[in-house]
Amino acid sequence: MFLIRELISGAYVAAPPVVMVEGARPTITPVTVEGEGLSPERLLEAYRLMVLARATDERCLSLQRQGRIGFYAPLMGQEAAQVGASWALRPEDWVFPAYRELAVALARGVSLRAIFDQLIGNAEDRIKGRQMPNHFGFRDVNFVVASSPIGTQITQAVGAAMAAQRRKHEIVTISFFGDGATSSNDFHAGLNLAGVYQCPTIFFCQNNQWAISLPRERQTRSATLAEKANAYGIPGIRIDGNDLRRVHAAVQEARARAVSGGGPTMIEAEVYRFGPHSTSDDPKRYRSDAELSAAKQRDPIDRLKMELRAAGRWTEDEDRALWEEVRAVVARTFEAAEKAPPLDPRSVFDDVFARLTPRLEEERAEYDALVRDGVLKS
């Protein structure tokens, strides 16, 4: 029986290692990209990773309702799009996420514990509690911190790609965003700039049919979202985002095109958001149970499971054991993160400048005095 611990700990690495030398180009372990598909073994690994993402999603929704985390934006229904896209990238590539890319982070090798630490904002949180829950970032895997404003990651990805282009670094940047972001200023500015300068950027739109409560058909008269790229001289393709193989192949092709100097690509992956936009949203107010039920007939996890079963590589007994194992480990990992000490309030004075300014020194001294006098609790 497969042990999920490599995925939970972040020890599992889906792509070749990269050695970074300060001030130099990345040194990449050679690997064949063109034509590289997903073997039966890799499909099974992808299924396990998708199950981990779904089980984590379920747990986080429950935790927010219990008041144990403050906010969460689920990705249920978008697992194949995120895992397929991530596995077509290299470690040296840069990911610019929105706020729903949990499976992307896991696929890049981020540990579940690191994600839970950020959701809680405890002393182990790498961002030191300075971002909303679900807005994590991990420098060691080139996963940029997410932000709440819609579409800002699009122009950021283009800027980073331009920098890499000028430094002759053979990497790509990829920006993940939803259908609603295609109506944002940053979408148009980002695609225009990338088209003009032929930046090595992949624009990956997860069209989950709803921009919070606004349906896809009320956002634009465009027949597809992908065709919007044509106005900027960028090829745009529309794919089934529930098809892991198709997503992987599309991103792989876009990456090869970008690093060879062919410029950016926009990919519209058709998916469906099963859950709420976030834990602040009630989707029952704007969509019917019948619509959701119909969408769940195309569940990417069920789809891949059926493919594995048809190939004789998976059984229902194995599936039940996997779900039981994953859910137990997810619960234990969160409980361990919850027991970590809270963040030291004094950290608010850190990282503002490389060295504390005289004014910050005074403010920290004032804070210490208030704690000493019992006015504040440390």
User: Which residues are catalytically annotated?
Assistant: 273, 277, 286
Instruction: Report how far residue 371's alpha carbon sits from residue 119's, in angstroms, rounded to the nearest whole number.
Output: 27
Q: Average pLDDT, stretch 357-372?
A: 94
169 in the same domain as 124 = yes
Per-residue pLDDT for 13 more than 50?
no
**64, 205: one domain:** yes
191 and 172 belong to one structural domain: yes
For residues 85 and 216, state if they share a domain.
yes
Quick one: tokens of 122? 């405890």
339 in the same domain as 351: no
pLDDT at residue 37, as a whole number: 82
- Number of domain units in the chain: 2
The predicted model gives 143-149 an average pLDDT of: 94
Residue 208's domain spans which residues?
A: 5-343
Residues in the chain: 378
How confident is the model at residue 218, as a pLDDT?
93
Domain match, 265 and 373 both: no
Please tell me whether residues 374 and 292 are part of one structural domain: no
Q: What is the pLDDT of residues 312-362, one digit of tens each?
A: 999 999 999 999 999 999 999 999 999 999 999 999 998 889 999 999 999
Residues 187 and 77 placed together within one structural domain of the fold: yes
Bridge partners, 94 (sequence order): 173
CA angle, 372 as apex, 371 and 373 as ends, to 5°?
90
Q: What is the CATH number of the domain that holds 19?
A: 3.40.50.970
Percent of the chain with pLDDT over 70: 90
Q: Are 263 and 375 members of one domain?
A: no
% pLDDT > 90, the chain: 87
Residues 6+ apart with CB under 8 A from 20: 26, 27, 92
Are 151 and 221 members of one domain? yes
Q: Among 225, 223, 215, 226, which Cα is nearest to 273's? A: 215
Per-state percent for the chain, helix, strand, coil, to nearest 5: 50, 10, 40
Query: pLDDT tens digit string along 48-102?
Result: 999 999 999 999 999 999 999 999 999 999 999 999 999 999 999 999 999 999 9
Task: Please tell me whether residues 29 and 71 are part of one structural domain.
Answer: yes
Residues 292 and 353 in one domain: no
- Write out the DSSP string of 112-174: HHHHHHHHHTBTT-TTTT-S-TT---BGGGTBPPP-SSTTHHHHHHHHHHHHHHHTT----EE
